[in-house]
Amino acid sequence: MPVPHFIIEYTDNIKAEAEIPALLKKVNQLLISYDGTFPIGGIRSRAIELHDYVIADGTEDDAFVHAVLKIGAGRPESVKKMVCDELFQVMKDHFADLFANRYLALSMELIEFSEAGTYKHNNIHARYKKTATEK
């Protein structure tokens, strides 16, 4: 099944406190922990810092973090729910201090795509297949 991509967009007014690289590592560790559900060599996490945005009426220094988990179709609903519940909890835990001290909106969505219309060329998978056979 196709690989997971975790993409967050976050407002630049939280950059100093958000520790985005640490969040991305936590996300990858969680996805890897679903042994065999997601191929390790295909896991991608990335962040996009937003400079142009308006939140609510634009009069306050509000902030948001929106995440998208993109996965290939075919996984059971129970697995998708468990993964999304855990990922969103990682986000809530990661941003708990910021959430307690400022106005912050957290959101996440799941997008499933079919193999049709996706193109990939990836030799990272081979490294993990080699590591698995060496054990």
Catalytic choice (4, 21, 39, 76): 4
In whole angstroms, give the CA distance from residue 41 to residue 35. Answer: 12
- Give me the residues paired with residue 113 across strands: 72
What is the arrangement of strands in the sheet containing 44-50, beginning at the earlier edge strand?
A: 44-50, 5-11, 63-72, 104-113
In whole angstroms, give the CA distance from residue 79 to residue 75. Answer: 7
In whole angstroms, give the CA distance from residue 93 to residue 91. Answer: 5
In whole angstroms, give the CA distance from residue 4 to residue 113. Answer: 10
Reply yes or no on whether 4 is catalytic. Answer: yes
Active site residues: 4
